[in-house]
Amino acid sequence: MIRPVLIVRAEPGAGQSAARARALGLTPVTAPLFTVRPLPWQPPPAGGFDAVMLTSAQAARHGGGGLTPFLALPCYTVGEATAAAALEAGFGDVRPGPADGAALLAKMAAEGIGAAFHPCGRDRIELAHPRVRIGRVAVYAAEEAAELPLAAAAALREGALALLHSPRSAALFARLAGDRRGEVALAAISAATAAAAGPGWRACAVAPVPRDEALLELAAKLCQTAGDER
């Protein structure tokens, strides 16, 4: 029996990860812990900014028509997936950066950006840089599940390897998993994500670089050596 991998990130990312998992010969179980919805928002004057900063593809997907005045500005993104979402939203000058928001902000400062518009999620990490003024507006909300989805609970009973894509999802998964921790092995996309999950898991491995592709490749190796994740 092939050991399943449990994917708890929000859609459409969950489906994308599942497709990559199947391409690697894995059996994915998708059970998103978040439901993403757009928020009503009022865009600030675009003339006050040098660039747009996107730290989530969801902001590009759910920003709607409010993003239109900013489409001509350079758009800095965390990684290639967010860059692809920015292009789909209509940004013409998309500049992919590191997968870490703080590192992206440092890159922007180094390239002379003095003021950045940051459409973002309602729940977020507050980024700051002494040389960059950030205008934040929440354009979407990721609502947390109140309990572990039935598909996730069933996958864990089958010994699934849980894939964690962000510190927030890791913290929520840890809270919902409860006393299952000692029976569950994790694969985290970054050290910060692993730290957010906390201690007590059967095993926890971290992807070498914070990208979905690297996390899935790690999962494939772990599933080949089931029981030896450490």
- Number of neighbouring beta carbons within 10 Å of residue 57: 24
Which two three-digit tokens encode residue 83?
A: 């860059």
Q: How far apart are CA 96 and CA 103, in angstroms?
A: 12
Fold (CATH) for 37-143: Rossmann fold (3.40.50)
The domain 4-33+145-224 is classified under which CATH number: 3.40.50.720, 3.40.605.10, 3.90.79.10, 3.40.50.10090?
Answer: 3.40.50.10090
CA dist list (Å): 174 to 32, 42, 74: 14, 35, 38
What does the DSSP 8-state code read for residue 12?
T
Band of pLDDT at residue 42, cut at 50, 70 and 90? very high
Distance between the two ends of the chain, CA-based, in angstroms? 21
Q: How many residues does the chain have?
A: 230
Alpha-helical regions (H) of 24-147? 57-62, 79-89, 101-110
CA dist list (Å): 97 to 17, 31, 34, 121, 130: 21, 29, 25, 19, 19
**Does 1 have pLDDT greater than 80?**
no
Which two three-digit tokens encode residue 63?
A: 């920003």
pLDDT score of 214:
95
- Tens digit of pLDDT for each residue in 210-226? 889 999 999 999 988 65
Phi, psi of 109 (to 5 degrees): -60, -40
- Tens digit of pLDDT for each residue in 158-207? 999 999 999 999 999 999 998 889 999 999 999 999 999 999 999 999 99
Quick check: bond before 208 cis, omega within 30? no
pLDDT score of 99:
81
* DSSP 3-state of 223: helix
Contact of 167 with 192, CB cutoff 8 Å = yes
- Tens digit of pLDDT for each residue in 91-115? 999 999 988 889 999 999 999 999 9
In the chain, residues under CATH classification 3.40.50.10090 are: 4-33+145-224, 37-143
Q: How far apart are CA 84 and CA 8, in angstroms?
A: 21
Q: Are strands 51-54 and 75-78 parallel, antiparallel or unpaired?
A: parallel
Q: How far apart are CA 166 and CA 79, in angstroms?
A: 14
